[in-house]
Amino acid sequence: MKWRKWTALLLTVATLLGLTACGEAQSFTTDKLSVWIWDENQLETLETAAAEWTEKTHIEVKFTVKDRESYWTEVEKGVLPDILWVDSAHAPLYGENGTLLQLDDLLQAGKSIRLKDYNAQTTELFQQDGHTYAIPKDSLVTALWYNKALFDSLSLSYPDETWTWETLYETAKKLTNRHNGYYGIVIAPDDLGDGWYNLVCSYGGAMLKTDENGTVVSGWADEETVNAMKLLGQIIADCMPSQPTMAQLEGEELFSDGRVAMILQNSEEAMALTGQTGSNHWACAVLPYCDRDGDGAWGKGERVSVLEGNGWAISARCSDSAAAFSLLETLCGKKTQNSLASLGGAQSAYTAAGEQWVSEVEGVDLSAYSTTLRDSALIPAPRQLSGESWLDHALETTLYTAWNDPGRMETMLRQQQSYTDADLQGRQQPVEDEAAEG
C-alpha cells in the first residue's frame, strides 16, 4: 500500500516537472501565429529568432512583409494579424479604438520584457491614458546629413554643434547655384518628424498647446511658430529646388546625386544613404539650435528633435495573447535586438542595442543620433486622433499653398490656426507635441 502511494506521488511529481519543463507549450491554445512587418531586410533575423521559439512551443509563426503605404489601409479595414508593427503616429488611435491589445497585465506577469530597458520617451509614445499598447522597437530622431565634397568646393566649414538654424540658412544659400542645378538643402513639405517641424519646435513653437484653462488649442499663429516658419520660407525661396522638381524626385535621390548639400534624416531613413556610391563624402551632425536666450551657445530646450518610434503590438483580436506575448519576449529579447542592430535599420529603442547600432554601421559616423537622444529636447511628433482633420488640412492645403508662395506663410498659418481650433472644439486630449520649455 505504501509502495503504491509513493509510486503515485512520484508520478505526480514527474508530471508536474514535465509540465514545468514544457510549460509554454502546455499553456497555449493556438498552433499558429501571424506577424506583419514592413522591412524585408529584418525578415531573416526575425524568422531565425521565431524558429527557436517554435522549437520550444511547437507553434508555427508566419511572417508577412507588407508594403508600408497600404499597411494601414488593411488595418483600418479590420484585417489584422496576431502581432504587428505599429508606428507612434498610429498607435494612439488604434489603442483608443480598441484595435490593439492593452499589454499592461502581460508585461506585469512576464519577466523578460522590462520597459526600463528601453528609451523612456519612446516608450511613452506607445502609451495612452496610462496603458501600454506596444513594446518599443525603434527610436527615430533626426540628424543633419551633409556632402563634404560640396562644402569643400567652397571652403565652407562643416555643420557642428555650434550651428544655429540661421547658420544653416546662410550656409545653404552659399551652396545654392540654381543656374548649375545645385541646392543648399532639401526638406520635403510633408515631412514632420525628419523635416521642418524640428525647426518649429526649436524656436519654441508648436502645432498644439494648452491654454491657461488647460484647454488644447492651436499654436500655428503663435509668434514662435510664425518666426520659425518665416525662416523656413526663406530657406524654401533661396536654398531649395522648385516644388515641381521635388514632386518628381525624392530628397534622398537629390542628395545622393550630389545636387543637394544637406538633408534632414531620421535614423530609419538614414540607412538608405549608408553604403551608397559617394557615401564616403557624406557625414551627419546634430541638428542646429535656436539661440532663444541670445547667449551665443545652445542651452536647455534650444536644440530639439522630433521623436517618433516603431513598436511591437498585439491585435485585440488575437485568440491567444499569452502565446503572442511569449513570442514578443523572444523578438524583443537581447539576442534578437543585438542581431537586428548589426543589420543597420533604425536605431533600436532598446538602449544597449541602440548604442551597438551606432558602432555596427560602417562608413558613416552615426553618433549624432545617440547624442540627440541623450542631449536634445525630444518632442513627440504630432498625432491626429480619430475624428480630427486639422493635420491633414495643414499638410494638404495650408502648407502646400505656403510652400509654393512663401510670402503668404504668415497669412496661411493664421488660417490654419482658425481651422485647427474649430476642429478641436469640444475635444479634450493630452497635448502630444507641445514644444519643450527652457
Q: Residue 64 is part of a domain; what is its CATH number?
A: 3.40.190.10
User: Is 69 buried (19+), middle (13-18) or exposed (0-12) by CB count in 10 A?
Assistant: exposed
Q: Helices 367-375 and 351-360 meet at what angle, rounded to 10? A: 150
Last residue of a domain, one of 343, 360, 377: 360
Q: For residue 376, give every residue at least 6 positions away whose Cβ sits within 8 Å of its Cβ, in sequence order, or none.
A: 141, 286, 287, 303, 304, 305
pLDDT in tens, 187-234: 987 777 778 999 999 999 999 988 888 888 899 999 999 999 999 999
Residues 261 and 220 in one domain: yes
- Nearest 5°: CA angle at 368, between 366 and 374? 125
Q: Tell me what pLDDT residue 427 has.
A: 54
Instruction: Decide if 82 contacts 314 (C-beta within 8 A).
Output: yes
Please check whether residues 190 and 240 belong to one and the same domain: yes
Q: Whole-angstrom Cα distance, residue 102 to residue 83?
A: 13
Give me the pLDDT at residue 92, please.
82
Same domain membership, residue 326 and residue 227:
no
Asked whether the beta carbons of 187 and 240 are under 8 A apart, the reply is: yes
- Could you tell me the CA-to-CA distances from 120 to 124, 369, 373, 374 in Å, in that order? 6, 16, 10, 11
- Stated pTM of the model: 0.86
Please tell me whether residues 244 and 124 are part of one structural domain.
no
Give the whole-angstrom CA distance, residue 104 versus residue 33: 21
pLDDT exceeds cutoff 80 at 14 = no
Report if residue 436 sits inside a domain: no
Residue 5 inside a domain? The answer is: no
Last residue of a domain, one of 318, 339, 360: 360
What residues form DSSP beta bridges with 127? Answer: 132
**Where does a domain end: 360, 375, 397?**
360
Confidence of residue 6 (pLDDT cuts 50, 70, 90): very low
At 97-139, the pLDDT tens digits run 899 999 999 999 987 899 999 999 999 999 988 899 999 999 9
Please indicate, yes or no, if residue 10 is contained in any of the structural domains: no
Considering its fold, how many domains does the chain have in total?
A: 2
Domain for residue 385, yes or no? Answer: yes
Same domain, 262 and 120: no
Burial class (CB in 10 A: 0-12, 13-18, 19+), 5: exposed
Hunting for cell 557642428 — which residue is that? 160
Domain span at residue 84 reads 29-140+308-360
The alpha carbon of 239 is separated from its chain's Cα centroid by a whole number of angstroms, namely 27
Query: Is residue 203 located within the same domain as residue 292?
Result: yes
Per-residue model confidence as pLDDT tens digits over 53-107? 999 999 999 999 999 888 988 998 888 999 999 999 888 889 888 999 999 999 9
Would you place residue 186 in the very low, low, confident or very high pLDDT band (cuts 50, 70, 90)?
very high
**393 falls within a domain:** yes
Of residues 164, 21, 84, 144, the one with CA closest to residue 324: 84
Looking at the structure, tell me whether residues 73 and 219 fall in a common domain: no
Are 117 and 186 part of one and the same domain?
no
Average pLDDT over residues 260-289: 86
Per-residue pLDDT band for 12 (boundaries 50, 70, 90) equals: very low
**Is residue 119 included in any domain, yes or no?**
yes
Per-residue pLDDT at 430 exceeds 80: no
Q: Is 332 found in the same domain as 218?
A: no
All three cell numbers of 343, joined, read: 543589420
Contacts of 422 (CB under 8 A, 6+ apart): none
Query: Are 135 and 157 contained in the same domain?
Result: no
Residues 376 and 406 in one domain: yes
User: What gap in Å lies between CA 299 and CA 438, rounded to an integer?
Assistant: 8
Q: Is residue 24 part of a domain?
A: no
Note whether residue 21 is domain-resident.
Answer: no
Q: Are residues 43 and 191 in the same domain?
A: no
